[in-house]
């Protein structure tokens, strides 16, 4: 049987046993009490953090520390080519830099078919991933270890077909066609963005497998979106308007990935057509930036 002991309880037991063992160690008592107090305060903080996330549909803190920096060349690419970054406040710019730098440091970028991985490829791919997760506390895409980049469409052994992109959880890999990624990135008003689409798949699976506050909040809002789709009036409007492209209705995961594309690229239009679904998507991503 597995028995869970809290940090304060374990610390207290350790202190009592230590003092009983030898009275010469009584000078350690203040330190023991300090450990117990710190553990108890940490427990209260996590309890409040959970309460806050459940009550307000957003994390209490998105960051505890912001310290990682990009190289001069990487920062120059971000400033010159990433409009989302340039629209952020100075505080959010520092956070965004930290996230992009962390992503680049943690992931292994691998070029396929003689494609050379440049700083530009790293920054733009990391930037799209960090943009999508910018409102979340969990921004690192823990299920992704490798970023495989092909020059163009590639043959996938998963389903024996050519793909523009895919997320392979077993291989812990996000696989992208650079041609199609760049096209989706450059055309920002057609609601088609390969990077956003594939990163959303990774985000969905990570939230499904995790039990932390951010993942629970994500799952809750996702269920709210699915419940909207069961309503007759919503289904009728979706069919009549044909607002979302047909591929969105392949399954619930493709629907969420397409929804993310529309949300990022045309938020005002999305909100006008389907305000409730937009609201749940906003809560899911906690996107309180730039008028979203």
Sign, CA dihedral 18-23-27-33, equals positive
CATH topology of domain 72-285: Cyclin A; domain 1 (1.10.472)
What whole-number distance in Å separates Cα of residue 197 and Cα of residue 257? 5
Q: Which among 84, 71, 68 is positioned nearest to 140, based on CA atoms?
A: 68
What whole-number distance in Å separates Cα of residue 72 and Cα of residue 101? 12
- In eight-state DSSP terms, residue 62 is S
Q: Classify 285 in phi/psi space as left (phi over 0), alpha (psi -120 to 50) or beta.
A: alpha
Of all residues in the chain, the percent with pLDDT exceeding 70 is 83
In the chain, what is the straight-line distance between the N-terminal and C-terminal CA atoms, in Å? 48
Return the SS3 of 133: coil
- Which phi and psi (to 5°) does residue 169 adopt? -65, -35
Q: Which among 36, 40, 42, 34 is positioned nearest to 13, based on CA atoms?
A: 36
pLDDT, tens only, 192-239: 999 999 999 999 999 999 988 889 989 999 999 999 999 999 999 998
pLDDT, tens only, 47-102: 656 666 677 677 766 777 888 999 999 999 999 999 999 999 999 999 999 999 99
pLDDT, tens only, 204-214: 999 999 988 88
Contact 225, 259 (CB under 8 A): yes
What whole-number distance in Å separates Cα of residue 154 and Cα of residue 115? 13
pLDDT, tens only, 7-21: 444 445 455 545 455
């Amino acid at each position: 049987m597995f028995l869970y002991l809290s940090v304060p309880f374990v610390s207290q037991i350790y202190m009592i046993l230590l003092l009983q063992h030898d009275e010469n160690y009584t000078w350690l008592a203040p330190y023991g009490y300090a450990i117990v107090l710190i553990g108890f305060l940490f427990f209260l903080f996590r309890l409040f953090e959970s309460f806050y996330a459940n009550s307000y549909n957003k994390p209490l803190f998105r960051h505890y520390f912001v310290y990682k920096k990009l190289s001069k060349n990487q920062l120059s690419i971000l400033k010159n080519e990433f409009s989302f970054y340039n629209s952020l406040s100075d505080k959010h710019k520092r956070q965004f830099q930290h996230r992009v730098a962390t992503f680049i440091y943690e992931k292994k970028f691998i070029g396929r078919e003689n494609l050379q991985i440049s700083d530009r490829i790293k920054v733009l791919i990391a930037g799209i991933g960090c943009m999508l997760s910018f409102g979340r506390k969990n921004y690192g895409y823990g299920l992704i270890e490798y970023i495989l980049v092909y020059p163009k469409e590639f043959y996938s052994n998963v389903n024996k077909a050519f793909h523009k992109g895919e997320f392979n959880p077993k291989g812990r890999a996000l696989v992208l066609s650079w041609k199609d990624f760049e096209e989706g990135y450059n055309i920002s008003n057609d609601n088609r963005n390969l990077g956003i689409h594939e990163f959303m798949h990774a985000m969905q699976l990570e939230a499904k497998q995790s039990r932390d506050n951010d993942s629970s909040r994500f799952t809750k809002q996702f269920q709210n979106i699915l419940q909207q789709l069961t309503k007759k009036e919503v289904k009728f409007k979706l069919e009549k308007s044909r607002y979302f492209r047909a591929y969105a209705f392949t399954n619930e995961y493709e629907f969420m990935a397409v929804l993310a594309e529309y949300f990022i690229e045309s938020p005002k239009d999305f909100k006008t057509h389907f305000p409730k679904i937009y609201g749940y998507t906003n809560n899911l991503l906690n996107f309180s930036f730039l008028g979203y």
